[in-house]
Amino acid sequence: MSQKEDVIRCSFCGRTAHEVSSMVAGPEVYICDRCITDAAGIVGHETRPPKPTGASRPPARRTEAGHRLSPIEIKSSLDEYVIGQDQAKKALSVAVYNHYKRIDSAQHYGDYADVELEKSNIMLIGPTGTGKTLLARTLARVLDVPFSISDATALTEAGYVGEDVESILANLLHAADFNVERAERGIIYIDEVDKVARKADNASITRDVSGEGVQQALLKILEGTVAGVPPKGGRKHPEQSLININTSNILFIVGGAFDGLADIIAQRVSTNSIGFTAGQTKRMDKFDPAIFSYVEPDDLLRFGLIPELVGRLPVISALNALTPDAMRNILIEPRNALLKQYQKLFSMDGVDLLFEESAVDAVVEKAHKLGTGARGLRAVLEETMLDLMFDIHTKSDVAVVRITRETVEHKAEPILEPRKATA
């Protein structure tokens, strides 16, 4: 064999072994590392899953080229899923719209070219089951910026067992597909922030690693800092390299039920008069559905939030407790209304599910007594429908199931309408 024939060449591109870094040999066939890389890119592109379509695809975020959704359009999207809470919807819509403008502000020049737009983080306060988390999840459907939802209950101060505060940024980084530039312009919703309130009104003399310690750790991230984020989680993979994220342009929305805050507000608003005005007493009922609309920063300080954290959340929006009328609308009106969900479940078994008006009223009455907001509606419906859902698939001759007030209140048998016989 000649020296020319001894030279190993790639069977695809013809490069010699001296021209490439490595060569993979097969039965009388060779392939170089460059062709392997090119082939992997081609295969990855062709086998990439298609983009979601139909109901799984989020709605368009721009009404036309270059046009961001206006506050009215954002609120309209929220109205499809959340009943009432107009003030909170307006606050969120304006905050998101201004967040869009802050992102685009570097592209516009003029008389205000040297003016830097600062972000206004938001706090949502309201009883359980009023739609705080639902508002955040609905926002995630309509935004074209990375959006993540984190829970504050798992957070602890750095150095203790639990999640570091930086894990919040890691969730946003995952939502941005590890695109740091997009993540730095995203939105983060922190739920259950009231659970990190310190245990006493005065400054703690011992370590409060899941309360005041977390609040202090949140301060710099809320205001704006460059944080080192472990993409796989901090303590489980200590050898990984950190990804630096600048939080200056990240909008933070925090929410919580703040159980006990109503007592603080009612005590402050209520007044007792003496002297010539004796008898002119002003009393605030802590069970007033709109009690949280009277909240002031000092109330949050007495609840257990530190002043520095309250100062970094300039927009405080209250969600009112649900009235019976609002709960009735939640059952019927939204795109994913609870009654529609059960009707879909029964339709998969070929049965039409109908609720009489009196039955709907009974569900609302029982749920309102529970005091858990919209979650109480599902609890009542699950209890009412349990036996029926257990054996409905065995009733092949049933075409319509009609739920009555007696079914809801006393678990009486619903009205079953048989299928019409075909000729």
pLDDT 10s digits, 286-345: 778 788 889 999 999 999 899 999 999 999 999 988 889 999 999 999 988 999 999 999
Residue 35 vs residues 9, 18, 253: alpha-carbon distances, Å: 12, 15, 48
> So what CATH class is 67-318?
alpha beta
pLDDT classification of 66: cutoffs 50, 70, 90 = very low
Element containing residue 149 per DSSP (H, E): strand 147-151
Bridge partners, residue 23, by sequence: 32
Q: What is the mean pLDDT of residues 230-243?
A: 65
Residues of CATH 3.40.50.300 domain(s) within the chain?
A: 67-318
Element containing residue 271 per DSSP (H, E): none
Across 117-121, 208-212, 216-220, least confident range: 208-212
Residue 326 vs residues 39, 198, 234, 332, 337: alpha-carbon distances, Å: 58, 34, 43, 10, 12
For every residue of 31-90, DSSP letters joined together read EEHHHHHHHHHHHHHHTSPPPP-GGGSPPPSBSSTT-BPPHHHHHHHHHTT--S-HHHHH
Which range has the top average pLDDT, 198-207, 240-249, 350-359? 350-359
CATH number of the domain at 324-418, please? 1.10.8.60
Residues of CATH 1.10.8.60 domain(s) within the chain?
A: 324-418
Contact 18, 10 (CB under 8 A): no
pLDDT classification of 145: cutoffs 50, 70, 90 = confident
Residue 1 vs residues 52, 249, 316: alpha-carbon distances, Å: 58, 68, 84
Threshold 0.75, pTM exceeds = no
* Mean pLDDT, the chain, integer: 81
What burial letters (b/e) apply to 157-189, b meaning 16+ CB within 10 Å? beeeebbbbbbbbbbbbebbeeeeebbbbbbbb
The length of the chain, given as a count of residues? 423
Q: Are strands 315-318 and 122-125 parallel, antiparallel or unpaired?
A: parallel
